[in-house]
């Protein structure tokens, strides 16, 4: 359009318009009108008639070229150009929507919405430039129009769409924030409930100890007093009471251990594993025919000693308990070391565990054997798992029935700079 405008500008270089020039503008598809020095319309082409809905015969010769655009008389861009209006004056009419043409010297261009034109109003982009005669005098002005309603509607639709999108993003963000807050509240409640449960388990198991001890004492007194008169069957009843009480005591003590692992505070210290495992071996007082072999040069882990002791003593005890080998052996060593973590193996030459039970055995009271086959409460591995997780690690099993078991324990190590 700018190119065509330039052509028009070049052609209309003198005033009044000559026949061929008029013809050229008449045929142009760009709505164009021209006013003379007295602001009278001297040209109004067919495209302009179509764009404005106003016939040339109704406008040419008058100064009513504003009438298709505005409800009351006011200057259009061509009038302002003709009068050499200052930027301030132009802004008074067109706000900040106008600018100097970068192509045609002295020409202004702008865009505006004309609510009374067309159905629902029309957006026009318009350019006005002065008409200069051979002597350099401004003798009129020419204005061209371009209907940009379709573009504006598309822009509006895009803007609405963008606003909708922003609104949706905002809503989703709010929903996410709400969900996050709800989750945090639920997590806090869950943690509180867990702590309460742990405390409950602690109190119950602790308080069970006294009546159990009392029953054992009274049973012992009774047996002592009746020892002379008891027959074999009655003796076996007393043995039954003693065994049941022993199991009750083990259960209480394991439950207490389990609830202690759940305690809220955790104070970790660097624990050199070489030294720790030597101490553990002494504490465990291994029975004859049992071996605990620990590798040397193991890393230093970041852990709480009590939890670490519970974890490894349960694994070692199980490895020796669920074992029919002539020399029952448990080995502890380093499987891998990376990214501030170490994986330790606890391997035994015992009866092994079928892969389908590898997850189940870590659950409370889950046992694969009867009490007659192997004594136990079914809490040991639950303690192992809880302790490993609490220490920021994990535990898993590699085992087959009949080929021993390997428990792999991951724990955080002390890195060279002393950080976790
Ligand atoms: P408990 O030792 O008191 O039975 P645990 O929770 O320590 O309870 O172990 C759960 C079950 O997992 C045991 O009853 C046993 O069947 C199986 N198990 C644990 N450790 C081993 C092991 N090293 N070798 C074979 N089976 C094991």
From the CA of 376, give the closest atom in ligand 1. Answer: 3
Verify whether ligand 1 is closer than 6 Å to residue 363 (CB atom): no
User: Quick one: residue 118, left, alpha or beta (phi over 0 = left, psi -120 to 50 = alpha)?
Assistant: left
pLDDT of 380 reads 94
The residue whose C-alpha atom lies closest to atom 11 belonging to ligand 1 is 367
Round to whole Å and give the CA distance between 347 and 337: 18
Verify whether ligand 1 is closer than 6 Å to residue 75 (CB atom): no
Verify whether ligand 1 is closer than 6 Å to residue 364 (CB atom): no
- Which residues lie below 8 Å from residue 23, measured CB to CB, with a gap of 6+? none
CA angle 204, 206, 212 (to 5 degrees): 95
Model confidence over 312-329: pLDDT tens digits? 999 999 999 999 999 999
Choosing from 319, 324, 380, 386 the residue with most ligand 1 atoms within 8 A of its CB, the one to mutate for a pocket test is 380
Global model pTM greater than 0.85: no
Verify whether ligand 1 is closer than 6 Å to residue 371 (CB atom): no
Verify whether ligand 1 is closer than 6 Å to residue 380 (CB atom): yes
pLDDT of 420 reads 41
From the CA of 380, give the closest atom in ligand 1. Answer: 7
Round to whole Å and give the CA distance between 310 and 382: 11
Burial 176-209 (b: 16+ CB within 10 A, else e): eeeeeeeeeeeeeeeeeeeeeebeebbeebeebe
Round to whole Å and give the CA distance between 70 and 52: 11
Average pLDDT value for the chain: 89
Model confidence over 364-400: pLDDT tens digits? 889 898 888 998 889 999 999 999 999 999 999 999 9
Verify whether ligand 1 is closer than 6 Å to residue 77 (CB atom): no
pLDDT of 415 reads 73
From the CA of 357, give the closest atom in ligand 1. Answer: 12
Round to whole Å and give the CA distance between 106 and 85: 11
Q: Which range (3-7, 290-294, 367-371) has the least confidence?
A: 3-7
Whole-number Å distance, alpha carbon 318 to ligand 1 midpoint, is: 6
Round to whole Å and give the CA distance between 242 and 45: 118
């Amino acid at each position: 359009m700018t190119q065509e405008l330039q052509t028009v500008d070049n052609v209309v270089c003198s005033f009044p318009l000559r026949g061929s020039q008029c013809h050229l503008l008449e045929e142009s598809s760009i709505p164009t009108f021209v006013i003379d020095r007295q602001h009278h319309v001297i040209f109004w082409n067919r495209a302009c008639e179509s764009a404005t809905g106003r016939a040339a015969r109704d406008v040419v010769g008058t100064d009513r070229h504003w009438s298709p655009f505005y409800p009351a008389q006011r200057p259009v861009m061509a009038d302002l150009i003709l009068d050499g209006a200052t930027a301030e004056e132009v802004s008074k009419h067109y706000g900040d929507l106008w600018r100097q043409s970068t192509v045609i010297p002295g020409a202004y261009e702008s865009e505006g919405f004309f609510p009374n034109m067309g159905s629902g109003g029309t957006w026009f982009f318009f350019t006005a430039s002065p008409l200069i005669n051979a002597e350099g005098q401004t003798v009129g002005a020419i204005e061209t129009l371009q209907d940009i309603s379709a573009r504006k509607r598309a822009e509006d639709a895009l803007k609405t769409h963008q606003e909708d999108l922003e609104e949706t993003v905002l809503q989703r963000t709010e929903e996410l924030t709400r969900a996050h807050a709800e989750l945090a509240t639920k997590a806090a409640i869950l943690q509180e409930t867990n702590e309460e449960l742990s405390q409950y388990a602690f109190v119950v198991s602790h308080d069970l100890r006294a009546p159990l001890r009392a029953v054992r004492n009274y049973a012992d007194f009774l047996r002592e007093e009746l020892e002379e008169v008891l027959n074999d069957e009655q003796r076996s009843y007393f043995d039954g009471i003693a065994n049941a009480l022993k199991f009750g005591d083990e259960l209480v003590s394991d439950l207490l251990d389990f609830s202690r692992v759940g305690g809220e505070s955790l104070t970790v210290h660097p624990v050199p594993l070489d030294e720790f495992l030597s101490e553990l071996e002494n504490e465990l007082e291994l029975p004859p025919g049992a071996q605990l072999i620990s590798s040397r040069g193991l890393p230093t882990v970041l852990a709480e000693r009590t939890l670490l002791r519970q974890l490894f003593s349960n694994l070692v005890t199980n490895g020796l308990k669920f074992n029919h080998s002539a020399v029952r052996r448990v080995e502890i060593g380093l499987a891998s070391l990376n990214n501030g973590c170490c994986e330790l193996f606890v391997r035994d030459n015992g009866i092994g565990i079928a892969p389908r039970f590898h997850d189940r055995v870590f659950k409370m009271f889950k046992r694969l054997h009867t009490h007659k086959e192997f004594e136990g409460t079914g809490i040991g591995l639950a303690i192992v798992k809880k302790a490993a997780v609490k220490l920021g690690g994990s535990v898993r099993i590699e085992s087959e029935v009949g080929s021993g078991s390997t428990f792999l324990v991951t724990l955080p190590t002390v890195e060279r700079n002393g950080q976790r």
